[in-house]
Amino acid sequence: MHARTVAAATTALVGFVALLLPVHDARAGIVGRPVVIAHRGASAQAPENTLAAVDAAADLGVRWVENDVQRTEDGELVVIHDDSLERTTDVEEVFPGRAPWKVRDFTAAEVARLDAGSWFGPAYAGARVPTLREYVRRVERHDQKLLLELKNPALYPGIERDTLKVLADEGWLDRGHLDRLVVQSFAADSLRAVHDLAPSVTTGLLGRPPVRDLPGSAAFTDLVNPSYVSLSAEYVSAVHAVEGPHGRPLRIFVWTVDDAATARTVAGYGVDGIISDKPDVVARALYER
């Protein structure tokens, strides 16, 4: 009797301790709700939006990476945040006469010559601006999930179709990938176009539409992804109360949360995902005690 009681108590204790341990499975990586998403890759550890930032996220066990997609003059989709190459590459040195160095004014071959790592640190000298194709292949290699942002789509008419073509070519519109992909944008029209062209793709509207507008947005978006600055528990509940285009409640991935206290606050609001430059900090705050 006594032994059985001790065994039961021990089992309960082990279960309790397991709940408090980091949710970091060697195979699955960091798992749990909310999910943790590496913003522009693990961009506090490696130059944003490079393959090195994808690798850094994988090394941390982060299952989701976010990126930004734009288009070159000759139609190649590339992964970069700003509409200019200036901040995150050595374009000023390589092409001094080409200010303001807009992505859309350079060919893919020219972009491929640029160093997108040295600005971050000498260890990353020679890192390149990846094409979307290279990027999704690296995400695939790590068995990660992709939050793909169409950045400045008004500058690139038809980028929705171009992006879906690359994703389809790479197998990311197959059944096995659709639950590993979200396409997001601040541009509602662009997102509506993605939904119309590929209704099975999960979409996310960046920003914080008024609650009264949520049912309208839910015709073409599965997620509403606001800044943490404007977030409240009430807003999260209002989003969850609306049904999206796939018959499920809308979800929320919030950005960009880089400290433990804010991560715990927004997790307490009930968000579904937290986008962070420091996903390791967020995961530790939520899943380690």
Cα torsion 19, 24, 27, 28 to 10°: value is 80
**Site residues, ligand G3P (CB under 6 A):** 39, 66, 68, 81, 149, 206, 255, 275
Catalytic residue status for 246? no
Active-site choice (2, 24, 81, 240): 81
Nearest distance in Å: CB 186, Ca ion: 9
CA distances (Å), origin 181, targets 31, 96, 251, 281: 16, 38, 14, 23
| Contacted by 255, from Ca ion, ligand G3P, none: CB < 5 to 8 Å by type | ligand G3P
Q: In Å, how far from its chain's centre is CA 186?
A: 14
What phi and psi, each to the nearest 5 degrees, are found at residue 202? -80, 135
- Closest distance of CB 204 from Ca ion, Å: 11
Task: List, in sequence order, every beta strand (DSSP E) within the chain.
Answer: 24-25, 29-30, 35-38, 64-71, 77-79, 145-150, 181-185, 202-206, 223-225, 253-254, 273-276
Please say which residue, 14 or 185, places its beta carbon nearer to ligand G3P.
185
CB of 66 to ligand G3P, least distance (A): 5
Residues making contact with Ca ion (CB under 5 A): 68, 149
Let me know if 177 is a catalytic residue. Answer: no
Which residue lies nearer to ligand G3P by CB, 106 or 255?
255
Q: Is the Cβ of residue 95 or residue 186 nearer to Ca ion in the bound state? A: 186
Residue number of the CB atom closest to ligand G3P: 255
Residues 6+ positions from 199 with CB-CB distance below 8 Å: 245
CB 19 within 8 A of CB 257: no
Look at residues 166, 230, 164, 168 and name the one whose alpha carbon lies nearest to residue 195.
164
Query: Which listed residue (2, 24, 39, 177) is catalytic?
Result: 39
Shortest Cβ 171–Ca ion spacing (Å): 23
Specify the residue, 39 or 192, whose C-beta has the smaller distance to ligand G3P.
39
Task: Kindly list the catalytic residues.
Answer: 39, 81
